[in-house]
């Protein structure tokens, strides 16, 4: 199946994982004249214009704020790194905007070109080419993991960064810790000519999406799909079929997309959702065109949008 409309799915770039443990080789790559670094500020990658990442040289002034060592992203053609510069504090920072689900604020580092701005990755993910989006997603997810996992889970000692940013090592007990990815099932629940969508509290007006939830220990994907749909809407699910997956760095999930066959109709919304409803194909066409009176289409680039589009086109179903 063609997954081109899926943001962050173009991560086939050579990550050169074998170099991560070779400190001398990493240092040489970082000092290479061809090396480039992607600065990331509080989860926002540096953009250069409307559709390109803002790669900078290793001696760029803003990297004085970088957490060391840099995150080694790989060698697609030349060495690529990412730097977390979240310690930088912009003037007149709009903290309220940063906390919003749809953060439209931008930040500009003094002395850099006006085209270079830190922007919310959700807003930019479809503007970037697939490999660039995958670089940005990787950096955002790994930096979030470092921010929330500074201490050893075994003994509580402060851990240190190693392996080119891909590992934390505990000096106390010797334990090694690795970046976390949380599996999430997201399912397009179908019944005849209709699909089931839900809305979470706090979402922008009109935003509805496919139901989703974190997998629990001891579950298969199919079991998690059935449990989540039943918990959130009271709908019983029969057949479940895998469709596609998507890295989702908000903060560090792997979205496992499925279609699921509904065995019942009556919706009973639990406290995790604000609303849930059945929409026909005709309703979804209106939502995609912006003419539906209540529902907006899922965000472009998301796996929910992708699966709904594939269903409308007749390419997936139960």
| pLDDT tens track for 74-132 | 998 899 999 999 999 998 888 888 888 888 999 999 999 999 999 999 999 999 999 99
pTM strictly above 0.85: yes
Which has the minimum average pLDDT: 30-34, 93-97, 225-229, 295-299? 93-97
Condensed to tens digits (0 to 9), the pLDDT of residues 157-200 reads 999 999 999 999 999 999 999 999 999 999 999 999 999 999 99
Burial 231-265 (b: 16+ CB within 10 A, else e): ebbebebeebbebbbbbbbeebbebbbbbbebeee
Domains of the chain: 17-144 (no CATH), 149-179 (no CATH), 182-312 (3.90.79.10)
Condensed to tens digits (0 to 9), the pLDDT of residues 242-253 reads 999 999 999 999
Q: At what angle do helices 281-289 and 303-312 cross, to 10 degrees?
A: 120
Find, among 185, 236, 181, 241, the residue nearest to 211 by Cα.
185
Asked if pLDDT for residue 1 goes beyond 80, the answer is no
Asked if 252 and 258 count as a contact pair (C-beta separation under 8 A), the reply is no
236, β-bridge pairs:
none
Q: Give CA–CA dist 236/216, Å, rounded.
A: 19
Give the pLDDT score at 202: 87
Asked if pLDDT for residue 137 goes beyond 50, the answer is yes
* Residue 138, helix vs strand vs coil: helix
Mean pLDDT score of the chain, rounded to an integer?
A: 94
Condensed to tens digits (0 to 9), the pLDDT of residues 225-264 reads 999 999 999 999 999 999 999 999 999 999 999 999 999 9
């Amino acid at each position: 199946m063609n997954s081109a409309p899926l943001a962050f799915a173009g991560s086939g770039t050579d990550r050169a994982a074998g170099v991560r443990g070779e400190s001398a080789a990493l240092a040489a790559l970082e000092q290479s004249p061809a090396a480039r670094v992607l600065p990331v500020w509080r989860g926002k990658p540096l953009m250069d214009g409307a559709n390109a990442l803002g790669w900078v040289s290793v001696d760029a002034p803003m990297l004085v704020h970088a957490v060391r060592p840099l995150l080694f992203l790989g060698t697609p053609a030349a060495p690529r790194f990412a730097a977390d510069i979240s310690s930088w504090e912009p003037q007149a920072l709009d903290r309220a905007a940063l906390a919003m689900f749809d953060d439209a604020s931008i930040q500009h580092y003094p002395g850099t070109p006006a085209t270079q701005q830190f922007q919310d990755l959700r807003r930019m993910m479809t503007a970037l080419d697939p490999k660039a989006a995958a670089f940005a997603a990787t950096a955002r997810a790994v930096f979030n993991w470092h921010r929330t996992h500074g201490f050893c889970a075994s003994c509580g000692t402060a851990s240190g960064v190693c392996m080119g940013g891909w590992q934390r090592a505990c000096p106390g007990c010797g334990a090694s810790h690795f970046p976390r990815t949380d599996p999430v099932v997201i399912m397009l629940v179908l019944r005849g000519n209709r699909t089931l969508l839900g809305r979470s509290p706090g979402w922008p007006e009109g935003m509805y999406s496919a139901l989703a939830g974190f997998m629990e220990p001891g579950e298969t994907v199919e079991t998690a799909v059935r449990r989540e749909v039943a918990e959130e809407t009271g709908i019983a699910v029969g057949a479940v079929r895998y469709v596609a997956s998507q890295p989702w760095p908000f903060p560090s999930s792997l979205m496992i997309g499925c279609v699921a066959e509904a065995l019942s109709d009556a919706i009973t919304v639990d406290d995790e959702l604000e609303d849930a409803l059945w929409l026909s194909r005709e309703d979804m066409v209106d939502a995609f065109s912006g003419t539906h009176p209540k529902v907006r289409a899922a965000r472009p680039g998301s796996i929910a949008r992708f699966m709904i589009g594939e269903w409308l086109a007749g390419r997936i179903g139960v």
